[in-house]
Structure formats: structure tokens, C-alpha cells
């Protein structure tokens, strides 16, 4: 079961990384997204199926394109491995403790039948895409956040979770104020939309936990980067990755962390 989940996670990581690349690099995104085959960014040679196997192809080809021998970025295997490990982590530290399954088969069937599984999976994909996009390209595309905002807004109305809608609204106002006060230097409108989305799917009090974690980890990373002289005190680092990572932690462990602090 662990191996199955790991392989599933690697495949998801590969898919989302490709999506993020195409969103930021391709002019005609929807056409490329639906029809385009992957190719080597340097020699433009289309990849055969065996050159497209997540994680494996990179190591079998020793990190080089088979045609022009240019080096393939470490980003791809790293993102795939990272996603695989996150899937295994959620399985070990969240699914098993919470569902206490009698067997792996039982957990698989019960997850498969629950609507919530798909919502959690979807929000995970969104957060991963935001994380990668803001980390590598310093933007959070509306194509990622807007559909998710719409889906969770409708979901909350159907479920009557007005507190979550209120949390989203409060997050948006708070971050708009931050953008206004820092004159857009600290944060962008992409962050504002992301926080609105976070409020919608996290609700209260998990949104507070997520924001607390994001500001804490962002500040610590900033100080570390200045200390190792990678950044100057007035230089910028994108805040989206911290928001996405904290939202992910709060999504699964938010209530536990909230109770711990109270
Ligand atoms: Zn090539």
C-alpha cells in the first residue's frame, strides 16, 4: 500500500509540475495542456513514453536528454520525489491515525467512496501548483486559484458553512490591507486571492493556524537567507510557497495545532 501511494504521489507530482511549467511558459496554454506532448526545452525533440516515466527516466538517462545530451533540471525528479513522500506522509501520519483501519484494503475502499477524499485531493493539487508556480516563476496564476475559489464557495453554500466564507472574506480584507500598507512590496494580489481560497477550504480556526505558520516560516527563512548572504535585507522572496505549505499543514493538522496552543 505504501509503495502504491508513493508511486501515485510521484505521478501526481509529475503532472502538476508539467501543468505549472506550461501555465507559465506556453503562450497557448489550453491547447498545449490538452493536446501537447512533452518535449526537450532545448532541442524540442518530443519525448517517447519511456522518456516520460516520472523519476525513473531521469535516472536511466543519467539526467540528460537522449537526443541533444543537454542536462535535465534536477527540479523535475526533486518535485516528483517530494510529492511522493508527502503522499506517504499523509497516509502514515494522518489517514492511519484518524481512520484506524482494520486493513489497507478497507482504507482504500472507504476513501474511494467518500466525496471528501476528492475535495482533499483537489485542494492538494491546487496547493502544490501554487507552491511550485510561485517558487519557480514568482506568480500564482488565476487559472489555478479562480476555479478552486468557485468550487469551494459553492461547496460552502451547499454545506451551509458560513463561517468558512466569512474566514475567506476576512483573509482577503486583511491581506488587501497588507498589500496597501506595504505598497505591494511584500505581497501581491496573487497572495490575496490565495488567502481568500485558504479561508474557504480551511475555515476557522485552521486559517489562523495557517497564517501564523506562514508568517513564522517566512520570517525564519528570510533571516536564514540573509545570514547565508543569499538575499539582502531589502530583497524579496515570494510568500506564496509559505502560504501553500502552511495551508497544507493546517488542512490536516490545523485543529491539533490550535488545541495545542490553547
Ligand atoms: Zn534535447
From residue 69, give the alpha-carbon distance in Å to each of 12, 41, 46, 119, 179. 27, 12, 14, 41, 45
Residue 132 lies in a domain: no
How many other CB atoms sit within 10 Å of the CB of residue 16?
24
Total structural domains in the chain? Answer: 2
Q: 239 is in which domain, residue-wise? A: 141-262
Domain shared by 151 and 97, yes or no:
no
On whether both 84 and 190 belong to a single domain, the answer is no
CA of 80 to the centre of ligand 1 (A): 20
- 8-state DSSP, 71: B
Whether 257 is in a domain gets the answer yes
Task: Give the whole-angstrom CA distance, residue 192 versus residue 207.
Answer: 13
Structural domain ending residue among the three candidates 60, 95, 113: 113
Could you tell me if 59 and 175 lie in one domain? no
Q: Report the separation in Å between the CA atom of 98 and the middle of ligand 1, taken as the mean of its atom positions.
A: 46
- The answer to whether residues 173 and 240 belong to one domain is yes
- pLDDT by residue, tens only, the chain of 262 residues: 889 999 999 999 999 998 998 888 877 767 666 667 888 888 888 888 888 888 888 988 889 998 899 998 899 999 999 999 999 998 888 888 877 766 767 777 777 788 888 889 999 999 999 999 999 999 999 999 999 999 999 999 999 999 999 999 999 999 999 988 887 676 889 999 999 999 999 998 999 999 999 999 999 998 898 888 777 766 778 899 999 999 999 999 998 899 888 7
Same domain, 10 and 74: yes
Specify the pLDDT at position 33.
Answer: 67
Whether residue 133 is contained in a domain is answered as: no
Distance 64 CA to ligand 1 centre (A): 8
For residue 12, the CA-to-ligand 1 centroid distance in Å is 24
Q: Which residues contact 178 (CB under 8 A, 6 or more apart)?
A: 186, 187
Expressed in angstroms and rounded, the spacing between residue 46 Cα and the centre of ligand 1 is 9
What pTM was estimated for this model as a whole? Answer: 0.90
Helix 115-137 and helix 240-261: axis angle, to 10°?
A: 130
Distance (angstroms) between ligand 1 centre and the Cα of 76 equals: 15
Burial of residue 134 (number of CB atoms within 10 Å: 0-12, 13-18, 19+): buried
The answer to the question of residue 122 being in a domain is: no
Residue whose grid cell is 480551511: 202
Whether residue 121 lies inside any domain: the answer is no
Q: CA of 238: how far to CAs of 37, 217, 243, in Å?
A: 30, 12, 10
3-state class (DSSP) for residue 41: coil
Residue 61 CA, ligand 1 centroid: distance in Å: 12
> What is the Å distance from ligand 1's center to 59 Cα?
16
Amino acid at each position: 500500500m505504501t509503495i502504491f501511494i508513493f508511486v501515485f504521489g510521484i505521478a501526481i507530482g509529475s503532472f502538476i509540475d508539467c501543468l505549472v511549467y506550461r501555465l507559465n511558459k506556453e503562450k497557448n496554454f489550453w491547447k498545449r495542456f490538452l493536446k501537447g506532448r512533452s518535449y526537450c526545452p532545448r532541442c524540442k525533440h518530443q519525448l517517447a513514453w519511456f522518456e516520460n516515466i516520472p523519476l525513473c527516466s531521469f535516472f536511466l538517462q543519467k539526467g540528460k536528454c537522449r537526443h541533444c545530451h543537454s542536462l535535465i533540471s534536477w527540479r523535475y525528479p526533486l518535485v516528483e520525489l517530494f510529492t511522493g513522500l508527502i503522499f506517504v506522509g499523509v497516509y502514515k501520519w494522518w489517514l492511519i491515525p484518524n481512520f484506524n483501519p482494520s486493513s489497507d484494503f478497507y482504507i482504500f475502499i472507504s476513501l474511494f467512496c467518500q466525496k471528501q477524499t476528492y475535495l482533499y485531493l483537489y485542494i492538494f493539487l491546487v496547493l502544490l501548483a501554487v507552491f511550485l508556480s510561485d517558487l519557480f516563476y514568482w506568480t500564482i496564476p488565476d487559472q489555478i486559484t479562480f476555479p478552486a475559489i468557485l468550487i469551494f464557495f459553492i461547496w460552502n453554500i451547499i454545506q451551509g458553512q458560513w463561517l468558512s466564507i466569512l474566514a475567506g472574506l476576512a483573509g482577503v480584507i486583511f491581506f488587501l490591507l497588507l498589500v496597501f500598507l506595504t505598497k505591494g512590496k511584500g505581497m501581491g494580489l496573487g497572495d490575496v486571492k490565495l488567502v481568500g481560497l485558504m479561508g474557504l477550504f480551511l475555515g476557522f480556526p485552521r486559517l489562523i493556524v495557517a497564517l501564523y505558520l506562514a508568517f513564522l516560516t517566512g520570517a525564519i527563512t528570510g533571516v536564514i537567507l540573509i545570514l547565508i548572504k543569499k538575499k539582502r535585507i531589502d530583497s524579496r522572496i515570494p510568500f506564496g510557497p509559505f502560504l501553500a505549505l502552511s495551508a497544507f499543514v493546517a488542512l490536516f493538522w490545523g485543529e491539533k495545532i490550535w488545541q495545542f496552543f490553547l
